[in-house]
Amino acid sequence: MGNVYRYRFGPVEFDEASGELSVNGLRAEIHPQGRALLSALLARRHEIVSRSELEAIVWKGGSASKEALATAVNRLRNALGESHASLIETVPRQGYRITGDGDRVVVGKTFESQIALAPGQAVPGRDHFRLERILGQSTSGEVWLACDAASGERRVFKFATDAQYLASLKRETTISRFLRDELGPRPDIAMVLDWNFEQPPFFMESEFGGDNLLEWSRQDGRLAQLDGAARLSLFLQIADAVAAAHGVSVLHKDLKPQNILIAPVAAGWQARLTDFGSARLLEPGRLEQLAITQLGMTGTHGVGSDVSQGTPMYIAPELFAGGATTQRSDVFALGVMLYQLLVGDMQRPLMPGWQRDIADSLLADDIAQATDGDPVRRLASVALLAERLRSLDARRAQAQAEHAAQEAAQLERARVRRFQAQRPWMLVSLAVLAVGLAASLVFYQQARRDQQALLRQVAVGQAMNRFLGEDLIAQANPSISGRAGVTMLEAARKAAPAIDARFKDSAPEVQVALHEAMQKTFSGLTEHQAAIAEGRLALRAGQAMPADSEQLAQIRVNLASDLIEMSQTSEAQAELDIVERWLASRQGRYPVIEAGYWLARATIATTAFDEKLGVEQTRRALQILGAMPQPPHAIEEYAMLMYADASRMAKDYGEAEKYFLKLIALQETRYGAQGARTCFTRLGLASTYSYLNRVEEAIAMLRDSAHCLKAALGMENTRTAIAYDILGAAYYKAQRYQESVDAYMTASPVYGRLKGQQSFHSVGARSSAALAYVGMGRYGEAEQLFIDTLRDVRAGNAEDSAAVQWNRYQLANCRLQQRRTDGVAALLQGLQEDTLGHAQVLLDWDGRLAYQRGRLALYTGQRAQALALLETAATIIAAKNPEGPISEAAIRALMASAK
């Protein structure tokens, strides 16, 4: 018998009993081989564990290649994250070891196996039962199906081989006895019949209820053969069993298909709820009243305590945040299973866009209410969910009656809707320009109270109405535009140049207000170059206005944001410097302008790869807005988005996920789950999941978000392009390189048209596509892209900048991969590891530079110099990044070929 530990190294925690790894409080996905590897290294902390020893432990004595062990180590480091990967140290030519100081606590015991179970063998202590087949197996125990040779009756035996599983069996037995006493025999709950917890082998005997729901659903298309009504009937059996348990204060806490048994009966199929090993009794004092002993379970292992949170796919969101288990937690799990039953796939996760899989809107609403992320808004009980499902026919009839009653009114409104549908941009333009008008009026109400100011207000209002009616909306008239179906962008482009001519004799306040409104219109349409032009015209018109104008300060902040989007950083800095001086003497009086100023500064910082400064500046903006009673929605959401994204870029993935989820919840209440803003925010969350190695989950979310944004905004929109850009990154991480290229090259031309070929976005998408080509070994295609990106990045950056040096390195690598040396010497000359590190954080830039220079020397006949450089590269890479794409073995093989 030995101890089982929970290890902690700062924010890294590994529980041997459960096999769970958490980093910064978040569960990290870890491969089974990674668990065995981590346990082996932790058991001999600070000692070097040889490769052969690790192979024997991880592969249980079987053989494994050097590459297999290296892959397992690399996966484990990825699970730990970049900040903590150095906990696992590679000792060249010897093995690996755990570094750093940590602590450990005992969380359980392991038992030496005293049984060797096999089919046909008698159950120890139950000789009349013979083992038929194994149903489940883990390091904690085994589950077997057994049959009485005389009667043919079947039973399930669970054997425990460690203390934790034994405690779980005791809990399940106690809860089962309680349920039997409170509810009596039930066909929908598999009861415990007998147990042996006195001497090894420890086991529990329970009723056999058939195959579990997951296995049953896969056999002979059984689930697929059931129609919708039959699937609902099956689900209601499960719901009734859970509701009955809840009725006597028992929470199951691990509801999932594997814990639902399905057996044939005369009327079809009978579902049975099983495995109460994680259950919780809300009123443990009732055991005493029924004279039921807790079977040796006390303290933290009692039936009133929480010892497990269940299976991730079915865990309610509040439990991840440390919330208490309630009936609503079980409701959430059942809501997920209801969805899976209806779509016919018991492994499909409830991902964004799931509503498209459910044709019945009432059922979709039931699932949505059962799985609401906010437990307060979730259905309060399983009984209520079952009642809603049983009353579906009545609810449908009621909905049809309401629909018929409204039909007459809808027909009358249809004429108006058709008119609006022909000119949807009119509504948007009215809203955007109304915001500009309202801002102007509020400004003057705050700044002036005299008659002259009142006259200015009237003039601005009249001018806004004339411009809106006679210029912008008039563009929709086919007799003026020459065609029907004019878009808002087209109308805005035609109307904007008329402002100065039509209102040249108006007060400067009028011209400023009109140009500012068009600035916001173009910016909202991601037409940043046009927005920049309107912002500059507004500032020019405002030269005759008071120098302390709040309105002009806001225009400068908006102008700076558009300049940053077009990669015109120096001009943006100049505008922000003016705003900074303006704010210096007005501390705290204009929080919206101040917050916008810090967000623009943060954008500059993050595009310059200074993620830490970006986080600090976005946090400052959030603090300013947080002090306001009701900050404007747009800047509040933008600040939250910027902070979450800056945290992600700074690799604080826990903080990033927290704020992305917070913002998504807020936007779903404001715009709906399929609103463009909500879908755009999901891009950041998906990108965070990708960095957390939840890549397939990220890809599914990104696909849905990209389709959502394309449908809502069209393909010619920056946000849609960003969606495909981030999708390309996720495909790249999953090594799906061709799909990565396709996604990046979908985004790139859109960036080029909207922001310019030399913009940060356009260059980034094309260089990322080039890296995907490198991943496929298509170096010629990668080279052509890097030639283009280097040309474009040089146009706006110094030769010694991080962006230029990174592109030079990548182009040199592509040529050397093709054993070509043309222009490579010039590309590599002057490259600095520190500068490259600003573009891409890697531990071994010095080794990579030595490797490329060594290859250049080798291919140009400078053998002695080549061997010296390659030896340097091999030594550095072996020490700093042995699992990276350039391996020590490959370098030494190249050296051997040169000798």
pLDDT in tens, 107-149: 554 444 446 788 889 998 888 999 988 888 776 788 999 998 7
Q: Give residue for tokens 């809107």.
A: 361
pLDDT single digits (tens) 627-650: 888 888 888 888 898 898 888 888
Give the pLDDT mean for 616-624. 88
Question: Residue 86: how many CA atoms within 13 Å on its side-chain side?
Answer: 8
Query: What is the per-residue pLDDT for 547?
Result: 65
pLDDT tier for residue 83 given thresholds of 50, 70 and 90: confident
User: Residue 95, SS3?
Assistant: strand
The percent of residues in the chain predicted with pLDDT above 70, rounded, is 81
Kindly report the three-state secondary structure assignment for every residue of 113-181.
CCCCCCCCCEECCEEEEEEEEEEEEECCEEEEEEEECCCCCEEEEEEECEHHHHHHHHHHHHHHHHHHH
Instruction: Please name which of 133, 238, 129, 139 lies closest in space to residue 194, comparing C-alpha atoms.
Output: 129
Query: What is the per-residue pLDDT for 727?
Result: 94
Query: What is the per-residue pLDDT for 732?
Result: 92
* Nearest-angstrom CA–CA distance, 276 and 391: 30
Distances (CA, A) of 403 to 358, 396, 410, 414, 601: 20, 10, 10, 15, 52
* Nearest-angstrom CA–CA distance, 758 and 528: 14
Please report, to the nearest 10 degrees, the dihedral formed by the alpha carbons of residues 70, 74, 77, 83 taken in order.
120
pLDDT single digits (tens) 804-859: 999 999 999 999 999 999 999 999 999 999 889 888 878 889 999 999 999 999 99
The pair of structure tokens assigned to 536 is 């500059």
> How many helices (H) does the chain have, and how many strands (E)?
38, 19
More confident residue, 421 or 647: 647
How buried is residue 200: exposed, middle or buried, by Cβ count under 10 Å (0-12/13-18/19+)?
A: middle
Give the pLDDT mean for 567-576. 86
Per-residue pLDDT at 616 exceeds 50:
yes
Q: Which DSSP state fits 308?
A: -
pLDDT tier for residue 280 given thresholds of 50, 70 and 90: confident
Per-residue pLDDT at 441 exceeds 60:
no
Q: Which DSSP state fits 808?
A: H
* Nearest-angstrom CA–CA distance, 499 and 514: 7
DSSP states of 748-804 as a string? Answer: HHHHHHHH-TTSHHHHHHHHHHHHHHHHTT-HHHHHHHHHHHHHHHHHHS-TTSHHH
The pair of structure tokens assigned to 13 is 């925690």
How buried is residue 668: exposed, middle or buried, by Cβ count under 10 Å (0-12/13-18/19+)?
A: middle
pLDDT single digits (tens) 203-226: 999 999 988 999 899 887 889 999
Burial profile 110-140: b = 16 or more Cβ within 10 angstroms, e = fewer: bbeeeeebeeeeebbebeebebeeebeeeeb
pLDDT tier for residue 326 given thresholds of 50, 70 and 90: confident
Q: Give residue for tokens 């990104």.
A: 702
* Nearest-angstrom CA–CA distance, 595 and 635: 8
Question: CA triplet 330, 331, 333: central angle to 5 degrees?
Answer: 65
Instruction: Please name which of 109, 103, 140, 139 lies closest in space to residue 14, comparing C-alpha atoms.
Output: 103
Per-residue pLDDT at 471 exceeds 80:
no
pLDDT single digits (tens) 708-731: 888 878 888 888 999 999 999 999
Give the pLDDT mean for 468-496. 49
Residues facing 8 on adjacent strands: 13, 103
What phi and psi values does residue 114 have, to the nearest 5 degrees?
A: -105, 5
Please report, to the nearest 10 degrees, the dihedral formed by the alpha carbons of residues 664, 666, 668, 671 taken in order.
-120
Q: Give residue for tokens 């009432």.
A: 362
Q: Give residue for tokens 């969805």.
A: 339
User: Residue 109, SS3?
Assistant: strand
CB 464 within 8 A of CB 433: yes
* Nearest-angstrom CA–CA distance, 179 and 250: 8
What phi and psi values does residue 111 have, to the nearest 5 degrees?
A: -110, 140
The pair of structure tokens assigned to 326 is 């309630």
CB 621 within 8 A of CB 613: no
User: Residue 353, SS3?
Assistant: coil
Per-residue pLDDT at 341 exceeds 90:
yes
Range scoring the smallest mean pLDDT among 322-336, 543-557, 661-675:
543-557
* Nearest-angstrom CA–CA distance, 92 and 74: 15
Query: What is the per-residue pLDDT for 140?
Result: 77
Average pLDDT, the chain: 80
pLDDT single digits (tens) 760-784: 889 999 999 999 999 999 999 999 9
Amino acid at 368: A
* Nearest-angstrom CA–CA distance, 330 and 246: 9
**Centroid of chain to Cα 660:** 8
Beta strands in 432-575 (DSSP E): none
Query: What is the per-residue pLDDT for 538?
Result: 84
CB 382 within 8 A of CB 243: yes
Instruction: Please name which of 143, 302, 117 lies closest in space to residue 211, comparing C-alpha atoms.
Output: 143
Angle formed by the axes of helices 424-447 and 508-524, to 10°?
A: 140
Query: What is the per-residue pLDDT for 638?
Result: 87
* Nearest-angstrom CA–CA distance, 565 and 272: 58
How buried is residue 458: exposed, middle or buried, by Cβ count under 10 Å (0-12/13-18/19+)?
A: exposed
Give the Cβ contact number of residue 293 at 10 Å: 11
- Which are the contacts of 427, defined by CB distance < 8 A and separation ≥ 6? 420
Residues facing 207 on adjacent strands: 155
User: Residue 273, SS3?
Assistant: strand
Query: What is the per-residue pLDDT for 419?
Result: 36
Give the pLDDT mean for 244-262. 90
pLDDT single digits (tens) 376-410: 889 989 999 999 999 988 888 877 766 665 554 45
Residues in the chain: 899
User: Residue 49, SS3?
Assistant: strand
CB 175 within 8 A of CB 220: no
Please give the model's pTM, rounded to 2 decimal places.
Answer: 0.44
- Give percent helix, percent strand, percent coil of the chain, each to the nearest 5: 60, 10, 25
Range scoring the smallest mean pLDDT among 193-202, 304-313, 517-526, 623-632:
304-313
Terminal-to-terminal C-alpha distance of the chain: 56
The pair of structure tokens assigned to 153 is 């009756």
Give the pLDDT mean for 588-613. 85
* Nearest-angstrom CA–CA distance, 684 and 730: 12
Highest averaged pLDDT of the listed ranges 256-265, 455-464, 687-696:
256-265
Give the Cβ contact number of residue 151 at 10 Å: 8
